[in-house]
Amino acid sequence: MPTRIDARFAALRAEGRAALVTFVMAGDPDLETSLEILKALPGAGADLIEVGMPFTDPMADGPAIQAAGLRALRAGTTLKKTLKLVADFRAFDQTTPIVLMGYYNPIYVFGVEAFLAAALDAGVDGLIVVDLPPEEDAELCLPARAAGLNFIRLATPTTDDKRLPKVLENTSGFVYYVSLTGITGAALADYSGVAAAVKRIKSHTNLPVAVGFGVKNAASAAVIAANADGVVVGSALVSAIKDSLDAEDRAGPGTASSVASLVAAIAEGVRSARRLRPQSVSPLKKLFDAFAKVWS
């Protein structure tokens, strides 16, 4: 049975544009503000939302997302409260796909069977669990898929053609291509390799390919959207949240609106790329330079 993720990518494919996938940490800087931010994202232009599950040892995350997780944990955010946050969002929005992203330890402690039941009840559509390799699919991936959740995997520049089929074997929803090696929040210096990487992954799968890491603004989003099925932005949004807080990391009246404003600008970049998809627009650097002038 198709999930909200499948339906959203199908609709955007018919529309002829890429998806904007936004990441925010559950409970950052507090649960009330976090819900306000989530509610603002679809109206600002987010097509799918990744919700981070706060964890004390986020080994793949850079300083911005690590700090967001710590703020959320200090605010009392737990996995149970993260699921409640999704359920509260679902009372407001029944159509925007929600993907929980994080690490396996909190799920393991919660209990896989109980977690999957609670996630479905809350309205979660998919999972990204970065520290469970395909060799451990029986732990969570296969039960999640059997329960009706998409299980989304990461591919990286070091995932070669020999490894890729194993990574994709039980992947569903979409493939998340991490466009650089390293931690979240790092800058992508060269966008020219993204198109080739997406093409290579698509030679192995019919799933949509969303590209993340290094997306900071409308210009970088537009370049990626010209070649990928989705653009993922996370650290830039988390940094916008941080910049809106006071010296004691408390939310202000403009916290949610500051995030929404950045999402709206990036969404415009993603949507503008639809008009620039034809092969006549080349090379890729010329496209990037044009958008950089507009949104610099």
Active-site residue set: 50, 61
Strand 209-212 and strand 230-233: the pairing is parallel
Sequence-distant (≥ 6) Cβ neighbours of residue 34 within 8 angstroms = 24, 25, 26, 27, 28, 72, 77, 85
CB atoms within 10 A of CB 108: 13
Sequence-distant (≥ 6) Cβ neighbours of residue 255 within 8 angstroms = 29, 33, 36, 37, 241, 244, 245
Angle CA 24–27–31, to nearest 5: 125
18 secondary structure, DSSP code? P
CA distances, 5 to each of 8, 10, 92, 134 (Å): 5, 9, 18, 21
Question: In the beta sheet, which residues pair with residue 233?
Answer: 22
Q: Which amino acid is at 106?
A: P
